[in-house]
Every structure is written in structure tokens, then in C-alpha cells.
Amino acid sequence: MAEGLRHSLEKLTEITRSLAVQMAELLELREAVQRAEEATARTRPNQRYREIFSAAHRAQAEARETELQLKRRLAGKSGNQVLAGASKLIS
């Protein structure tokens, strides 16, 4: 009987150690998940900021391009008007 009790106690000790190891691993995993979630939470606003910043720069570039196109058109029309006025003076 004592032998059976000792064997049961050893088995129980082995199971307890195994559970302690598994609990420690679970705690480590939980902490790793929390760190990953925190990193993701920090990344999202930064990514959103970069997207907005890039969109603003693209809009500025498009506005500058539109402005240049308008200036070219105006310069073309003004140049044509000047040439037309000069030709009237010459004729």
C-alpha cells in the first residue's frame, strides 16, 4: 500500500510540475500577444498619418500641375493676342 501511495504521489508531483510549466508558457504567450496588440495599436495611427500625409502631398502636386497648365494656357492665349495685335499694327 505504501508503494502505491508513493507512486501516486510521484505521479501527482509530475503532473503538478507539468501544469506549472504549461502555465508559465501560457503566461509568456499571453504577454507576447499583449505586446503584439500594443505594437499594432501604435502602428495603425502612424500608418493612417502616413496615408493622410501622402494624400495631402499628392493633392498639392496635382494642384501645382493644374496651376502650371492654366498658366501655360493663359500664356498661350496672351501670346496669341499679342501676335494678333502686332500683325494688325504691321498691316
Confidence of residue 18 (pLDDT cuts 50, 70, 90): very high
pTM for the model stands at 0.45
Q: What is the pLDDT of residue 71?
A: 86
Q: Coil, helix or strand for 1?
A: coil
Q: What is the pLDDT of residue 63?
A: 94
Q: Is the pLDDT of residue 15 over 70?
A: yes
Q: What is the pLDDT of residues 24-71, one digit of tens each?
A: 999 999 999 999 998 888 877 788 888 889 999 999 999 999 999 988
Cell 493633392 locates to: 59
Rounded CA separation 11/13 (Å) = 5
Helical spans, DSSP H, in 1-91: 2-90
